[in-house]
């Protein structure tokens, strides 16, 4: 298996454009401090890059 990313929502979605809110929800995050673990794929990286200012991202290694 490949690398995984632990993604944490560190800022509220209030006041941010709807497009960015949709990206965060698609990643599986709803409230500040929610965490998800996602596969490290180009599509996930692309979503993370669009809203990196709202997230904390850590590589978890191999699972």
Number of domains in the chain: 1
Is the pTM higher than 0.75? The answer reads yes
Q: What is the pLDDT of residue 46?
A: 97
pLDDT tens track for 7-42: 999 999 999 999 999 999 999 999 999 999 999 999
Cα dihedral 17, 19, 22, 26 in deg (nearest 10) = -130
Q: What is the CATH number of the domain that holds 17?
A: 3.30.1390.20
- Tally DSSP H helices, then E strands, for the chain: 2, 3
Domain that includes residue 17, residue range? 3-62
Q: What is the mean pLDDT of residues 44-59?
A: 97
- The Cα 63–Cα 61 span in angstroms is 7
Q: How far is CA 46 from CA 24, 31, in A?
A: 12, 21
């Amino acid at each position: 298996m490949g690398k995984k990313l632990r993604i944490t929502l560190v800022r509220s979605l209030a006041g941010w454009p709807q497009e960015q809110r949709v990206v965060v929800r698609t990643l599986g995050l709803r409230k500040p401090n929610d965490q998800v673990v996602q596969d490290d794929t180009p599509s996930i990286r692309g979503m993370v890059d669009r809203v990196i200012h709202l997230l904390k991202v850590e590589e978890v290694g191999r699972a």
